Structure 1
Amino acid sequence: MAKRNGAGRGKVILVAGGAGFVGSHLCSALLRDGNRVICLDNYLTGSPANLSGLETNPLFTMVEQDVCDEIEIDEPLDHIYNLACPASPSSYQADPIHTMMTSVTGTGNLLKLAARHRATFLQASTSEIYGDPKEHPQQEDYWGHVNCTGPRACYDEGKRAAEALCFDSLRAGTVDARVARIFNTYGPHMRFNDGRIVSNFIVQALNNEPLTVYGSGEQTRSFCYVSDLVDGLIRLMNRRQNPGVPVNLGNPGEFTVIELAELVLSRVRTASVIVHEPLPPDDPQRRRPDITRARALLGWEPQVPLQEGLLRTIAWFRQNLAVERAARRSGRSRRQPQLATLSQDL
């Protein structure tokens, strides 16, 4: 794989949503490359714990703020990454109007900030813009099959609107905006109760609870380990020439939900069994990225196989669940690792 273009040159970078699952890993990677990092997050779904160890780095600054409010950063900015939006169904459906406005108003505010600073902008979009796709695998020129009035529309349509804002800004010549369409990502720093399929299965298995499979379990997903995704985001941001088109970032390996459940059960000593529940509305049946464009433009493809990534993720959850249980016994716990039962997605 090619080296990251422009990495390690001491840029000043704003990461909106930087205390979240992916954002916190991105902040760490950017700091390792010698950059100055400003993390902006309202802690709605992010956590200070994800930034543990970063707060003592002199190159790191935390700003607690909602992107829906006007954003002012005093120092010059070179890059802005926008990862600010709840990404699991249980989170984005909890306050769907705020979710939509985070993608529309929030992205608009960040694009204005990028224009003022002449900063390169990267929008974290999603495979959800393809909806329940009728084409498989999904290429970037596929327009998707989305229910614009359904319970998932706040996220799906919000991200589609954010992409439109980015490409309109690019065409207007006001912002060098790039768009990454992120497929199912997993790894450490996922929340215990966020309702995503990998964290659901792992926490259920570690707690000896039934693994909840929605529908038949024959629906498919493609799982990308978080370090691979972060590498792709940085490559897209640091590419000298703007691609001018969205770029899929995900692992093209395709697994059924049942296969994932069995993989987790084979790697956790547990009394858990698989149970089935009704499928939520608009849940995609097949999801797999075509990453031809990412290979050609970025020299990028995932390096961590699912089996290896699962072992790393299980180890992280096992350690943190042990800490959580100890805290609960001592009466200090603020988290309740109860699993959401919404969707096997993202």
Structure 2
Amino acid sequence: MNTEEQKRILITGAAGFLGSHLCDRFILEGFHVIGMDNLITGDLRNISHLFKLPNFEFYQHDVSKFVHVPGRLDYVLHFASPASPIDYLRIPIQTLKVGSLGTHNLLGLAKSKSARILVASTSEVYGDPLVSPQSEEYWGNVNPVGPRGVYDEAKRFQEAITMAYHNFHGLETRIVRIFNTYGPRMRLNDGRALPTFIAQALEGENLTVFGDGTQTRSFCYVSDQIEGIYRLLLSDYSLPMNIGNPDEMTMNDMAKEIIALTGNASTVIYEKLPVDDPKQRRPDIEKAKRLLDWTPKINRQEGLQRTIDYYRSLPAEELKQKDFTYYNQR
């Protein structure tokens, strides 16, 4: 493609789980991709295969500080943020800043470049929901001063300022509310349920479930999530949209399924439930079905097997770097 015709896209959080998969997708689609990450939770190994490509460049930068990108920009994807409880409890101020200052900086950049911007929100804006499934019209049940408030409120502010730029400045904006997503490149030590369960099972350890295990989650395989995000970016829909898999299951059942798929003789043990841990998490995806013609394609067994195979391919010492001292079964 002629470089003058090639679309240019900035992806923040590019070295993270979702950010790196987004880089892959937009490279595949023929875009010139500019990745940006401060590497506070990202890993350059996730994008090292892209460094040799002429249509990929990378900048190590904290988007909470002024962001400058030379040249034309057609799109901005804002995926920079800690996303697991272990991370945002360890770096709460940075979590709040990337959701507020970082989003403000990137909205300003998009405005100056006349670019369309998509921001990564989360099902966490619904808090511990009082309704299920959660539709985009549900306002949520969030504790702003609880241990999870730094993440929840950063994302709620992010949505508010994004809509303000859309309504006041006429900026083209998109907001994706991401539900539980899993797959290759999830950090084993980020404390979330699935990588922790898989690492424990592969090591022959007991699987740690918090609470009584009856809380539910709905897990979406990463390729389905990326497809939904891609379609939303190219759509003309500016309000928040859920992208996730509505296939709901208890954490007890998920733990047992992982034990069965890994073939190890592990069992389940129970620890105290963390504060404000959501009891249910299930997306209503009717808007995505109707407006994007999107539904998840990868069933849970296939997605889990792919993820288990990925973790099996990692060096043995990485399996020992898990941390399940606090997580919220996301």
Q: Secondary structure in 1 aligned to 2:71?
A: coil
Q: Secondary structure in 2 aligned to 1:142?
A: coil
Look up the match of 2:55.
Answer: 59
**Is 1:304 aligned with 2:288?**
no
Cα distance in 2, alignment partners of residues 10 and 279 from structure 1: 49
Cα deviations by residue, 1:253-283 (Å, 9 ceiling, x for unpaired): 0010011001100011323211000000000
**Is 1:166 aligned with 2:162?**
yes
- With normalisation by structure 2, the TM-score equals 0.97
**Is 1:291 aligned with 2:296?**
no
Q: 2:249 aligns with which of 248, 255, 263?
A: 255
Q: Secondary structure in 1 aligned to 2:301?
A: helix
Cα distance in 2, alignment partners of residues 277 and 161 from structure 1: 32
Q: In the alignment, is the contact (CA less than 8 A) between 1:178 and 1:237 conserved in 2?
A: yes
Q: CA deviation at 1:323?
A: 7.1
Cα distance in 2, alignment partners of residues 268 and 324 from structure 1: 17
**Is 1:176 aligned with 2:172?**
yes
Q: CA deviation at 1:10?
A: 3.0
Q: In the alignment, is the contact (CA less than 8 A) between 1:80 and 1:122 conserved in 2?
A: yes
Q: Secondary structure in 2 aligned to 1:53?
A: helix
Q: In the alignment, is the contact (CA less than 8 A) between 2:196 and 2:322 conserved in 1?
A: no
Look up the match of 1:330.
Answer: none
Q: Secondary structure in 1 aligned to 2:90?
A: coil
Q: Secondary structure in 2 aligned to 1:320?
A: coil
Cα distance in 1, alignment partners of residues 177 and 276 from structure 2: 19
RMSD: 1.2
Q: In the alignment, is the contact (CA less than 8 A) between 2:118 and 2:176 conserved in 1?
A: yes
1:314 to 1:68, Cα distance in 2 relative to 1, 3 A: same
> Aligned ranges for residues 238-277 of structure 1 at < 5 Å?
238-239=234-235, 241=236, 243-277=237-271
**Is 1:24 aligned with 2:20?**
yes
Look up the match of 2:38.
Answer: 42
Between the two proteins, the alignment pairs up a number of residues equal to: 326
Look up the match of 1:344.
Answer: 328
Cα distance in 1, alignment partners of residues 59 and 263 from structure 2: 41
**Is 1:92 aligned with 2:88?**
yes
Look up the match of 2:128.
Answer: 132
- With normalisation by structure 1, the TM-score equals 0.92
Q: 1:199 aligns with which of 195, 207, 214?
A: 195
> Identity over aligned residues, as a percent?
46
Cα distance in 1, alignment partners of residues 35 and 91 from structure 2: 23
Q: In the alignment, is the contact (CA less than 8 A) between 1:20 and 1:47 conserved in 2?
A: yes
Q: In the alignment, is the contact (CA less than 8 A) between 1:215 and 1:276 conserved in 2?
A: yes
Cα distance in 2, alignment partners of residues 339 and 255 from structure 1: 23
Look up the match of 2:142.
Answer: 146
Look up the match of 1:328.
Answer: none
Cα distance in 2, alignment partners of residues 31 and 258 from structure 1: 39
- Long gaps (5+) in structure 2: none
Look up the match of 1:313.
Answer: 307
